[in-house]
Amino acid sequence: MDELDQIKRAQRGDSQAMAQLLKAHYSFLMKYLIKMTMNPVLAEDLAQETMLRCVEKICLYNGKSKFSSWLITLATRIYFDQMRRTKVERQWRDREQALRRTEWQLKARQEERTDAMQALSRLGYEWRLPILLKHYYGYAYDEIADMMDIPPGTVKSRIHHGLQQLRKELTTDEKE
């Protein structure tokens, strides 16, 4: 039985044809993933995920490319998604660790961590920094613009929008 026939049978729900198809391409996929990730353990995880996704999405295979190319496309997209997710998780974890360190430092200096500081910590740095420089340290808009290497109008805009977000957060916190 040729590959195209196996694919058509798999698309109709033939699990035997699907198993044969996956078995025939597993080694090729693993070699690609090992070269792509340079990590055999990650490659194995990605291969398993790709095979699962292939079973779920076999009906979407349209035959415009070779089946092996379609598998590589699935695997590559899964890898990219995983890398993006890992990056976001790492950024979140780093931010949480920084917040804990800041809390510890404030407690060590016997400063209170107020609701305003908590709300401020949840803002992105683009808004938090100009607000801190303006309202906590008293710098002028032009000075902040020079420090951040952005136009003064952008500083004003970021402070305005950041303060709106802070008000919203603080109002939400009060209602809870």
Specify the pLDDT at position 38. 87
pTM of the shown model: 0.53
Rounded CA separation 95/88 (Å): 11
Rounded CA separation 71/67 (Å): 6
Question: pLDDT tens track of the chain, all 176 residues?
Answer: 688 899 999 999 999 999 999 999 999 999 999 998 888 999 999 999 999 999 999 999 998 988 998 999 899 999 988 888 888 788 777 777 776 776 666 665 555 456 667 777 777 778 887 888 888 778 889 988 888 889 999 999 999 998 898 888 777 655 55
Specify the pLDDT at position 110. 56
Q: Nearest CA to 57 among 10, 9, 104, 93?
A: 10
Rounded CA separation 141/161 (Å): 15
> Going from the N-terminus, what domains does the chain have, and what CATH number goes with each?
3-88 (1.10.1740.10), 114-175 (1.10.10.10)
Specify the pLDDT at position 105. 64
Please answer whether residues 21 and 71 qualify as being in contact, where contact means their C-beta atoms are separated by less than 8 angstroms.
no
